[in-house]
Amino acid sequence: MSSQAMLQLLLRSQGLGRDSRGRAFWQVVEREREVSAERTAIIVCDMWDTHWCRGAAERVDEMAPKMNNVLATAREKGARIIHAPSETMDFYAEAPARQRMHAVARVDPPAAANRPDPPLPIDDSDEGADTGETSWSTVWTRQHPALMIDQERDSISDDGPEVYSLLRREGIEQTLIMGVHTNMCVLNRSFGIKRMINWGVSIALVRDLTDTMYNPARPPYVSHDEGTQLVVSYIEKFWCPTVDSEQLLS
């Protein structure tokens, strides 16, 4: 691991502009940022071992090996990896990476900012299953086994204030988040994008290592992948920038 390793990030967001006729349109805005890997943290959101929706579980199975490769590279460069498989902390109760998080002195988050929260561009009111399941249930027990946890370096938590405390104690300057599901947990968990933005944390979504809970039978009646891209675009417009995982590998 090199203490001098730097990450070259291209942060992509979207803002409203005006064309030559004064008509409003959304335009992509990209900003380069160089940040020390040791001042970077990556939150892995709810990459569970299984899911009540077969389609969701299959997509996580496909994503996990690539994600593990990205995490291994970022870790070797010096980045802090925070594994956040919600509702499975009992499984990790004795794990050194979980105990390490317990040992972090608490830093109280600031009062949450009062930000607008526009509606999502997709209808996920049916919980978003695209493979026919209609009943939601908690079937996950741990993080996906394809994602290696380095017990000597990583941390485990599904608690927003714990994660916030680690970020502040470690002097983290850039936080990245990857995992599932973009329209639900990634946005709304206590360690998710909305909470971190409202606490003043500089966070960005890794846009090619995420997935939505979206059923193409629901508005806006597009493919599952298009639904995911709509949510990514929504995040770029209203919440935080996104990056591509290749920027962590190069």
Domains and their CATH numbers in the chain: 37-249 (3.40.50.850)
Task: List, for residues 60-91, the tens digit of each pLDDT value.
Answer: 999 999 999 999 999 999 999 999 999 999 99
Task: List, for residues 148-161, the tens digit of each pLDDT value.
Answer: 999 999 999 999 99
Is 1 a residue whose pLDDT tops 60? Answer: no
Residue 4's pLDDT is 77
Residue 114's pLDDT is 82
Q: Which pLDDT band, with edges at 50, 70 and 90, does 179 fall under?
A: very high
Distance CA 52, CA 129 (A): 9
Q: Which pLDDT band, with edges at 50, 70 and 90, does 15 fall under?
A: very high
Q: Which pLDDT band, with edges at 50, 70 and 90, does 185 fall under?
A: very high
Mean pLDDT across the chain, nearest whole number?
A: 96
- Residue 85 three-state SS: coil
**Is the pTM here over 0.85, yes or no?**
yes
Least confident of 2-6, 32-36, 61-65, 138-142: 2-6
**Of 153, 132, 154, which is closest to residue 43 (Cα–Cα)?**
154
